[in-house]
Amino acid sequence: MTMTYRGTIALITGASSGLGVEFATQFAARGADVVLVARRIERLEQLAAELHDRFGVTATALEFDLAVPDAGGRLRAELAERGITVQTVINNAGFGTRGLFAEEDAAVLASEIQLNVAALVDVSRAFLPDLLAAAGGPASGALVNIASTAAYQPTPFMAVYGATKAFVLHFTEAVAFETRESGLKVLALSPGATRTEFFDVVGSEAAAVGRFQTPEQVVSAALRALDKRSTPASLVSGRANAATAAATGLLPRGALLAVSGRVMAD
């Protein structure tokens, strides 16, 4: 079954590039109005115009910095002032760093944790009551949090990034269980290496493990999972990535750490 999101509004964070653009495009293609959130307003406005022209949906561009305290409450208040109530939230905003932990910039690491973890939790908590209120009805939506294949094992040389994504995975699975009777679809999506600006921010493709996917492949996999009557709490995008993630559960922790360390060092 292919779900339609006509009559709903989807909020996408990190919507100025990569997976955020693709989520906005695919939800708009299914009839959803979209709220595009990021700091690069020019890109958001261009994307909003394109989505309106292509799909006839209402696309709202909102310049907003999620790396601030109470980001979720402030964002929800901003939308309430505009008369916007969302039924779907895609927590896509985030970034990664690479290097020896002892040598990384402490302020950058704090921002990484704030955006990848604190803001995601804050946004999820702020909007979850609205999502639950709509769940199971004609305007039912979803909560999708972007984790990573890095969530499935320790990631030396990307220690903080991997840990933030492990948090996202476990947090989202727990929320999915808590809300399992509501009708709301809650999904932790774990992409592997994807052709986005992520590695431009990291500064190297050395952190990429496995074959690259496109944003379209990753987001299409997520929507197929949401189309299912019983949506899984978590999904690894790509068969090879899924097999690798599953294999991590078969290794002793020490062996897993050694393998991960060698792979990330290479």
Closest-CA residue to 190 (of 144, 136, 140, 130): 144
Q: What is the pTM of this model?
A: 0.91
Tens digits of pLDDT across the chain (266 residues): 688 899 999 999 999 999 999 999 999 999 999 999 999 999 999 999 999 999 999 999 999 999 889 999 999 999 999 999 999 999 999 999 999 999 999 999 999 999 999 999 999 999 999 999 999 888 899 999 999 999 999 999 999 999 999 999 999 999 999 999 999 999 999 999 888 655 555 455 556 566 779 999 999 999 999 999 999 999 999 999 999 899 888 888 888 788 888 888 86
Helix (H) or strand (E) holding 186: strand 185-190
CA atoms lying within 13 Å on the CB side of residue 83: 0
The answer to whether 157 touches 98, Cβ cutoff 8 Å, is yes
Q: For the chain, first and last CA: distance in Å?
A: 42
